[in-house]
Amino acid sequence: MSEALELEPGALPDGDIPDAGPRRSPPCTMVIFGGGGDLTRRLLVPAIYNLVGAGLLDEGFSIIAVDWSDLDTESLRTQLSETMRQFVAQRRASAASLQEENWEWLSQRVSFLRGAFDDSQTYQTLSSLCGVGNCVFYLAVAARFFAPIVAQLEGAGLTRETESRFRRVVVEKPFGSDLSSARALNAQLRNALDESQIYRIDHYLGKETVQNILALRFSNGFFEPLWNRQNIDHVQITAAETVGVEKRGRFYETTGALRDMVPNHIMQLLAMVAMEAPISFDADAVRDEKSKVLAAVHQLSPGDIVRGQYAAGSIAGRPMAGYREEPDVSPESETESFVAMKLTIDNWRWAGVPFYMRTGKRLATRKTEIAIHFKQAPYALFRDTPVDKLTPNIMVLQIQPSEGVTMQFSAKMPGPTVKLGGVRMKFDYADWFQEGPSTGYETLIYDCLIGDATLFQRADNVEAGWAVVQPALDAWAAGHGSLHPYAAGKAGPDAADALLARDGRHWLRLNG
């Protein structure tokens, strides 16, 4: 007889042998275009600092921040130190106080190059600074600079790889604004680079909880047999935010919730949940499966998509302005800040299983999660329990801010008669793993340095994401699809509820 295995949070089950840990990255110069900007200060440098703390960077690592702002190496270092101290105080970097030794190690390796992105002189200077070593060129700039920077890099010979050196380019979103612009951008990048040199970031893939979806599905025996149309009724994907457009009105006006969140982040979540098991965890094996499942998404019908825009309201008792009153937003704006849709996937695993998704700003609560709703059990055994009183079996993959997995099911309530009650079982990351705060960029930066592209989007993945939403973009451009207002602090417009109600279903509550 086998012994029961009792696991305490933090304990390793038998057979789990801690490995030697990840290897150090090779020596590399990281050239950050937009190195004087927000992304560099708030996310990239804190993430790199965390990698220093984890001992994952080589002595030969350095950063060249390229920007046209009025900075020099000294003032950039001072600025970065201030931000780091602030972040550490707010527990947004990895230690309770700044580890001076680690910060010193990193800040001494940061230098500033003042230059315009369209000036060939900038690239000549870079050429001599980079020498013959490995380089990662990180494009932390507005999308209009992507293609020109890459063309200049190529013109200066900076993208040429040899046996002994790699040259990689990291591209941030937005990657195009529709299918044809994404294709055009891919073509421009591939004029100068091999696909293997391009690392397209989707920061959702840097989240531990998103990476855990594949671990959960494919390293456990008991989920996968149930993960199909025989057992799953439908899936709900929610990415709800309480923030509004903040200072990004100008960008958001031409972008909107659909372009901002769906072809990229939401499609990545969908792909992780719905893809087939890859034959290995090699970058291409994983990305092949993602592309396949996105290609199998049935053409979106404009009737299956709802767009909304927040009006004035309140969140947690605080009054909130409506979208049209936000800075840099037109008072007649027709841009959506919320989108909900129903998708189906035409393959053997998922035929007939709707995937509902919703995302929006100024909603009741901040919550990103994927809820797998299982089919009801046959109920003959519980004749006195009406089937609609049975607790639905729902497995919720909580991405953020709660990080974990919950399972909801029925259990017998104590007492002499058979009565069923709903219960919930919960795995919480924080109970099991002691991870310090992270920016979510650590894994992505480290993976790029070691050449592992698994968590980056390949050209076909990006295009497949856009292909899914293109019918909605076309319909809206042709004037179809009304914009439904919702009060800030609500769960979205009523029309989003109607999208599920017509199928006899309802969204999980946002609060709770």
Catalytic residue positions, numbered = 265
298 versus 366: smaller Cβ distance to ligand BG6? 366
CB closer to ligand BG6 out of 90 and 164: 90
Residue 260 interacts with ligand BG6 (CB under 6 A)? yes
- Smallest distance, Å, CB 148 to ligand BG6? 22
> Which backbone phi and psi does 369 adopt, to 5 degrees?
-155, 160
Handedness of CA 168, 170, 175, 176 (dihedral sign): negative
Phi-psi map region of 172: left, alpha, beta (phi>0 left; psi -120 to 50 alpha): beta
Q: In terms of CB distance, is 154 or 326 closer to ligand BG6?
A: 326
Catalogue the E-assigned strands of 388-435: 394-400, 404-412, 420-428
CB 330, min distance to ligand BG6, A: 18
- DSSP code, position 451: T
Instruction: State the nearest-atom distance from the C-beta of 452 to ligand BG6, in Å.
Output: 21
| Residues numbered 162-201 forming contacts with ligand BG6, rule: CB under 6 A | 173
**What are φ and ψ of residue 324, in 5° steps?**
-70, -10
Rounded CA separation 60/324 (Å):
50
To ligand BG6, the closest distance from the beta carbon of 203 in angstroms equals: 6
CB of 48 to ligand BG6, least distance (A): 19
Query: 148: how many CB neighbours lie within 10 A of its CB?
Result: 13
Phi and psi of 448, rounded to 5°? -65, -40
DSSP symbol at 345 = B
Q: How many Cα neighbours within 13 Å face the side chain of 108? A: 9
Closer Cβ to ligand BG6, 173 or 324, answer by number = 173
Is 67 near ligand BG6 (CB under 6 A)? Answer: no
Q: What residues between 368 and 387 interact with ligand BG6 by CB under 6 A?
A: 368
Interface pattern 343-372 for ligand BG6 (x via CB under 6 A): -------------------------x----
Residue 273 structure tokens: 């949940």
- Site membership for ligand BG6, residue 25 (CB under 6 A): no
Q: How many CB atoms lie within 10 A of CB 414?
A: 7
Distance CA 245, CA 232 (A): 35
Angle between helices 459-477 and 179-192 (to 10 degrees): 150
Neighbours of 163 (CB within 10 A): 4
Positive/negative CA dihedral, 315, 317, 323, 326: negative
Q: Which is nearer to ligand BG6, 76 or 140 (CB)?
A: 140
CB of 279 to ligand BG6, least distance (A): 30
Tokens linked to 337: 């800040």
Size of the site for ligand BG6 (CB under 6 A): 4
Quick note: the x/- pattern for ligand BG6 over 116-155, rule CB under 6 A, is ----------------------------------------
Nearer to ligand BG6, 247 or 318 (CB): 247
241 lies in the site for ligand BG6, by CB under 6 A: yes
In whole angstroms, how large is the CA radius of gyration of the chain?
Answer: 24
Report the amino acid identity of residue 292. Answer: K
Smallest distance from the beta carbon of 213 to ligand BG6, in angstroms? Answer: 15
The rounded distance, in Å, linking the Cα atoms of 30 and 360 is 34
Tokens 């989003």 correspond to what residue? 496
In angstroms, the CA 291 to CA 271 distance is 8
Name the closest residue to ligand BG6 (Cβ): 260
Tell me phi and psi for residue 412, to 5 degrees. Answer: -75, 130
Q: Which CB atom, from 205 or from 405, has the smaller least distance to ligand BG6?
A: 205
If the CB atoms of residues 173 and 183 are measured against ligand BG6, the closer one turns out to be 173
Q: Nearest approach, Cβ of 470 to ligand BG6 (angstroms)?
A: 19
Interface with ligand BG6 in residues 297-326 (CB under 6 A): none
Give the Cα separation of 421 and 447 in Å (integer). Answer: 46
Interface residues with ligand BG6 (CB under 6 A)? 173, 241, 260, 368
